Amino acid sequence: MTILVTGARGWLGRAVCGQLQREGHRVLALDVGGREPGPWAQYVSGDIATEGIFGDAIIRALADTDSVIHCAGYAHRPRETPVEVARFWSINRDGTRRVLELARQIGAQRFVYLSSIAFYDWSVAGPRGEEAPLLAPTAYAGSKLAGERYCVDSCLDWRVARLGTVYGSGDRANFAKLAQAQGRRRFVLPGCGSARKSVLPLDLAAELLVDLAVRPTVPHRLVNLALPEPPSLREICAGFASTCGLPKPWSLPESWLRLLARLGDRIEQRRPGFPLTTLNLHKLTTSTVVDTRRMQENWPDRRWGSFQDWLAPAAGYYRQLVESRGKHGGGSAV
């Protein structure tokens, strides 16, 4: 098949392109910036945040595409400044609308949208299923949800994948920051670290997304993607310790950390990015678990493995990341 991947130069986008190439598909790549070598047959430069970007030349270059995997997006930020809020909406909502129109013009029949679990209501206990009530607590969440609704309302054969927290080699996001903090002994485990997190290995994400793009039919077109057994925060830290060789984190009672976090809130006003705040502590102590029954019905014969099973191939990367940040004085406390 001929498959277009947007955001192809990104961390997850490149992994998807690599998986497609290994399976023998013809990969078309779309991203901002100039051409660079990668696991694709053709690269097209274009910024989906720009109105009218997809002119006749791009449409001709991407003609006869079978499916689109829309990886391009603007990820959440700790602080949503007015500039970033505008980018969320121009890329995640309006950019998705432009890519859907492009898909229609180039003849693509199937459209896979990388969505988020950020708009679930985590104040209620228990796993969140795909039909659970949705919120938009941040501009990021609202913009991703708006993009998802454009897909569902399109005339294409859409598949929406709501991804848990992705981890693996090349990570620069949540797990990378946790590894750096734990590796430099700057991470404190809140209480017993019982909060559970829905997580998704990079390689598994790429494999499932590709399958959604090439399979003619699936039992469920809207699906949460995450390991069926969500690890607790303690188990995640233990995995980094045993598999990556990082030191075990300290532990303090949550009540103590809540008091310290109030002080941290004041410090954060003067030093943006200060890690120990009430908001960050709330995120660490809140379970964010999705129901994966639909995913398991889509792939009934799949063996899923554990967080630590999938962490092992990336252990060297996380270890090197910690060592590199330590040499250059980088990394943030969590």
> Tokens 């995995």 belong to which residue?
239
In a domain, 43, yes or no: yes
Closest CA to 233 of 197, 258, 182: 197
Q: Are 87 and 49 in contact (CB under 8 A)?
A: yes
In a domain, 267, yes or no: no
Report the CATH number that the domain containing residue 48 is assigned in CATH: 3.40.50.720
In a domain, 298, yes or no: no
In a domain, 77, yes or no: yes
Q: What is the pLDDT of residue 124?
A: 87
Phi–psi pair at 195, nearest 5 degrees: -60, 135
In a domain, 243, yes or no: no
In a domain, 13, yes or no: yes
In a domain, 184, yes or no: no
Q: How many domains does the chain have?
A: 1
Residue 225 pLDDT greater than 70, yes or no = yes
Q: What is the pLDDT of residue 78?
A: 73
> Cα–Cα distance between 36 and 38 in angstroms, integer?
6
Mean pLDDT of the chain: 94
In a domain, 108, yes or no: yes
Q: What is the pLDDT of residue 333?
A: 32
Q: In percent, how much of the chain has pLDDT > 70?
A: 97
Q: Which domain holds residue 125?
A: 2-163
Q: What is the pLDDT of residue 326?
A: 53
